[in-house]
Amino acid sequence: MNKVFDQEFMRRLENLELVSRKLRRGKNSGERRSLRKGSAVEFADYRNYSDGDDTRYIDWNSYARSEKLFIKLFMEEQDLLLNILIDTSASMDWGEPPKSRLALQLAAALGWLAISAYDRVSVAACNDHLVSCQAPLRGKGARSQLWDYLGSLSWQGKTDLNTAIKEFGPFCRGAGLTFVISDLLSPAGFKPGLQYLQYLGQEVVLLQVLAPDELNPVLGGDYRLIDHETQEMRETTVNPVLLQAYQRRLREFTADSRDFCVGRGMSFMQINSAESFADVILRYLPQAGILK
């Protein structure tokens, strides 16, 4: 997995950081500012002294000027808990290039960024259930563990995102930021699962990865279609009318998915698996406000 990044690209990654609209307090001291004022190193503001306040934080210089007691307030810095849920069902290993390749690259980059910022990152694989879950990693020495875990994933089984996310719940350790990377080809849907993540205190980012032939199929004639997950076969004749109906249904599904996410304060992005990995990480995600 470490061959995914060359030195130049990794230097560019260092200039990015994960963006969370609601920075939440974590377990460890990190490099991310919390909304809670505490007693860390960065000065934030003053307030009037009250009986019982710690006298160590009195601003004696202000007292010398005004003969009034003020307490120094500091911005507490905390780490972010990043969860990455990867759909590892059989359909994700389809397409040219396969959706699985970009999914792994995205997970590797997001995890790399979190670890570099001394945040915690947990990665989970799912299909119609929770396949596996890597316990939260922290510190730059954890990169190799992240690469090893991602490199061990296999792509098989059917898709049920709602069930898989529900099974992930007990492993979701505190409020944080959760990326879900999937083609969303889940017969039972995905909306209850994402709402459950919000119930768990997660800020949710949904990245839908589709192959070029799913986004814009170029077909004509008689075909025997085989479902990549169920092996179900169906014979059909592909003509312009059918392709137009497919494109209309895809637009409706995309718009519905985006509206659902935006309406509930989640982020949504649809990504072509043929897109340059560097473009997705360095251009599209920052443009969407997910990275900066």
Query: 136 and 280: one domain?
Result: yes
Residue 88's pLDDT is 97
Q: How far from 182 is each of 254, 257, 274, CA to CA, in Å?
A: 13, 12, 15
Residue 101's pLDDT is 92
Tens digits of residue pLDDT in 131-182 = 999 999 987 678 889 989 998 999 999 999 999 999 999 998 788 999 999 9
Query: 85 and 195: one domain?
Result: yes
Query: 35 and 164: one domain?
Result: no
Query: 71 and 133: one domain?
Result: no
Q: The CATH number of the domain where 198 resides is what?
A: 3.40.50.410
Which of the four pLDDT bands, split at 50, 70 and 90, describes residue 291?
Answer: confident
Give the mean pLDDT of the chain: 84
Residue 36's pLDDT is 46
Residue 191's pLDDT is 97
Q: Smallest Cα–Cα separation from 173: which of 121, 224, 210, 126? A: 121
Provide the percentage of residues in the chain whose pLDDT is more than 70: 80
Query: 44 and 136: one domain?
Result: no
Average pLDDT over residues 265-269: 95
Alpha-carbon distance 115 to 139, whole Å? Answer: 6
Q: Is 218 helix (H, G, I), strand (E, B) or coil?
A: coil
Q: How many distinct structural domains can be found in the chain?
A: 2
Residue 22's pLDDT is 44
Query: 56 and 84: one domain?
Result: no
pLDDT over 50 at 189, yes or no: yes
Alpha-carbon distance 273 to 97, whole Å? Answer: 6
pLDDT higher for 263 or 41? 263
Residue 43's pLDDT is 52
Which of the four pLDDT bands, split at 50, 70 and 90, describes residue 76?
Answer: very low
Domain hosting residue 138, numbered range: 2-23+79-287
Query: 147 and 72: one domain?
Result: no
Structure tokens at 225: 């279609």
Query: 148 and 242: one domain?
Result: yes
Query: 15 and 36: one domain?
Result: no
Q: Tell me, what amino acid is at 208?
A: Q
Last residue of a domain, one of 61, 78, 95: 78
